[in-house]
Amino acid sequence: MRLARQGKLCTRISANTRPRQATRANAAAPFIPAQVSEIVEPAAQAMAKAMKRVPITIPTMPGQPALETAFVGPTASELASYPPDVPAVVLLHGFDSSCMEFRRLYPKLAASAPTYALDLVGWGFTDYSLFKSEPGRVIRPEDKAAHLRAFLQAQCARRRVVLVGASLGGAMALDFAVTYPEVVEKLVLIDAQGFIDGIGPMATAPRPLLWLGVKLLQSVPLRQAANKMAYFDKGRYATEDAMRIGRLHTHLPGWEDANIAWMRSGGYAISSKIGQVKQEVLVMWGRNDEILEPSYAARFEQTLPNCRLRWVEQCGHCAHLEQPE
């Protein structure tokens, strides 16, 4: 069963009542690094052109900073064209990735539901300058949840949402659903992380060691190795272009500082919360995932009170990229 065919979970109105969201502009957004010119894939270029930033205040962080928050989503007029009871679909990417991770799935969903691909604090193309200027800051899971809540209040305050979380984005979605259950109608988890708590000893490592680890994370050899692990059909999808897309946001100033700020928090530890999620959850899992064991899919099915499991055959860790149909 492929992703876009699970539409009944995301929305209940017929396609001919919905406007198509714009996905192109004349040029890439001005905050996108210049290396975007090296990217070939049309879907990635379209996301870069459609991306925008809005200031969103994060109330849980010291000083309540307003971060320029990157996302791809409908304009106010497009959103107003949908019936008010239709939920918004919010796409949450994995660890140190960006909303461009949803470049193939986003336009399919955006054609039939108000859809947002979002970069929460510390990742993607959301502004990192705060963490570069104040390197002692920490980004906690509750800050990401508060950022998402504030974004939803600003962009689609009167709508309930369907959260779609891929990999670590699944942990974000689960954590948010427990923290703000009144906002979330349903969840879709794509090869989600949820049962591995924390990031281990790196959380308390000295800053110079963390800096070296982050620079390794940015390196081409490591990115290409992770790229190959992500797919079942490596020859078709684990390309140099895919690696450049996945690495593009790391060229933004302050990227290293923001990653260190996240690592110092210790990361997500939500395994004990998973059973508290009461919303309907669709778990989708690539049968050939090499990053997270497929056995985790069965654990979600056993632990979540209201869960359906769908296997994606001949697919790796990133069904939204490998089989977005």
187-221 per-position pLDDT tens digit = 999 999 999 999 988 889 999 999 999 999 999 99
Top-confidence residue, 1 or 134 = 134
In this structure, of 10-14, 142-146, 236-240, the range with the lowest mean pLDDT score is: 10-14
CA angle 190/84/126 to nearest 5° reads 50
The DSSP letter of residue 284 is: E
* pLDDT for res 18: 41
- What's the rounded mean pLDDT across residues 132-157? 96
- Alpha-helix runs per DSSP H in 180-318: 207-218, 220-229, 234-237, 240-247, 255-263, 295-303
Q: How far is CA 137 from CA 62, 67, 157, in A?
A: 9, 14, 29
Give the pairing type, strands 52-57 and 66-72. Answer: antiparallel
pLDDT at 255 > cutoff 80: yes
Q: Is 112 among the catalytic positions?
A: no
Q: Is 251 among the catalytic positions?
A: no
Which residue among the candidates 175, 191, 257, 289 is catalytic per the annotation? 289
pLDDT at 6 > cutoff 70: no
Q: Is 96 among the catalytic positions?
A: no
pLDDT at 19 > cutoff 60: no
Q: Under a CB-based contact definition with an 8 Å cutoff, are residues 243 and 224 in contact?
A: yes
Q: Which are the contacts of 262, defined by CB distance < 8 A and separation ≥ 6? A: 122, 123, 139
- Gap between the Cα atoms of 224 and 222, Å rounded: 5
* pLDDT for res 3: 52
Which residue among the candidates 93, 147, 249, 317 is catalytic per the annotation? 317
Which residue among the candidates 127, 167, 249, 257 is catalytic per the annotation? 167
